[in-house]
Amino acid sequence: MNPVLKSIKPVIEKSKFIKINKENLLKFCSDFKLKKFKFWLDLAPFNFPKLNEKEWLNFIFVSSSLDFCFWGEPKWKIKYKGNFYDGSWGLVASLTRAIEGNFPILDFKYLAKIPENDLREIFKGNVEIPLFNERLKILRENGRILIEKFNGDFEKVIKKGREDALKLLEVITNDFPSFYDWAIYKGNKVFFHKRAQLLIADIHRRGLAKFKNIDKLTALADYKIPQILRKLGILEYAPDLAEKIDNKVLIPAGSEEEIEIRANTIWAIELMKDELKSRIQNITPMQIDSYLWLKSQEKSPDDKPYHLTKTIFY
């Protein structure tokens, strides 16, 4: 079993800030008519540079290493080819712009010692990207680990995973500390591994490698998925928590409120999967997650804010 799914069960049983509305969840599933699941990278609103398979692997690893915490006042955004992008699209646009500007960001020897000024230029936007120093540290650390443990070859990380998504998850979270996404809830260690699971799923969906047990990956516990689940009436927040989120009060990383938001997000999508599999036999939590993430990009005036947590994990 995925350690994430096993570890969140005590959180689900003891949650006091979050409730899953089963009636609304079943209604969502009954209306679910998606014929083809779309992959978020294939829907990018700009063209990527031409990359070979090895370069694509490195690109996905680098982007997954940095895919966290884009919010702020004002929100960080970059200008690329006449358009503005923020969030994950802003990150991917920044990396694309860097490659086109001849920054060797797919070379792990470079990343292990990437100059601070280079990274500032790569992420240059209207304001400094949130948690800039943490991003600099992660890139250098991951570059150094790949050089020292894997001879600078990310394909060797994948081979160590033995074509098994759960084994690769173990490799990534053990060998790369910044991917080890966990918290303590009422004395129990809880795992989420958001970015590590996204990395594996993106490699698989891009066709760069195929993994058994890919269906065992869970949904990705970030801030956009619980936002859309709340909009759908599937996640219900206690009044005090709802008031904090709606007033953009910081929810501390590792707090019971934050852990419950993340755990119930994952569990709700597991319940969706169980309900939908009678009609869509091979449906996976990751496919439902991708559908919901893309749906969350459709903005409406009555959208409530997502919860705000300063963290490197999402």
Q: Report pLDDT digits (tens) over 304-313.
A: 999 999 999 9
Q: Report pLDDT digits (tens) over 162-190.
A: 999 999 999 999 999 999 999 999 999 99
Do 263 and 15 form a contact (C-beta atoms < 8 A)? yes
Say what the pLDDT of residue 128 is.
98
Residue 38 pLDDT more than 90? Answer: no
In a domain, 311, yes or no: no
Domain hosting residue 101, numbered range:
3-296
Q: Provide the pLDDT confidence category of residue 33 given band limits of 50, 70 and 90.
A: confident
Question: Which of 200-204, 257-261, 279-283 bottoms out in mean pLDDT, i.e. has the lowest?
Answer: 279-283
Strands (E), 50-187: 77-80, 83-86, 182-185
In a domain, 310, yes or no: no
Cα–Cα distance between 307 and 247 in angstroms, integer?
10
107 is a catalytic site residue: no
Percent of the chain with pLDDT over 90: 91
In a domain, 305, yes or no: no
In a domain, 75, yes or no: yes
In a domain, 271, yes or no: yes
Percent of the chain with pLDDT over 70: 99
Do 230 and 304 form a contact (C-beta atoms < 8 A)? yes
- Which of 222, 246, 289, 303 is labelled catalytic? 222
Residue 298 pLDDT more than 90? Answer: no
**For the chain, how many structural domains are there in total?**
1
Q: Provide the pLDDT confidence category of residue 44 given band limits of 50, 70 and 90.
A: confident
Q: Provide the pLDDT confidence category of residue 261 given band limits of 50, 70 and 90.
A: very high
CB contact set of 108 (below 8 Å; sequence gap of 6+): 58, 142, 143, 146, 147, 152, 154
In a domain, 306, yes or no: no
For residues 129-154, give the mean pLDDT: 98
Say what the pLDDT of residue 204 is.
95
In a domain, 312, yes or no: no
In a domain, 171, yes or no: yes
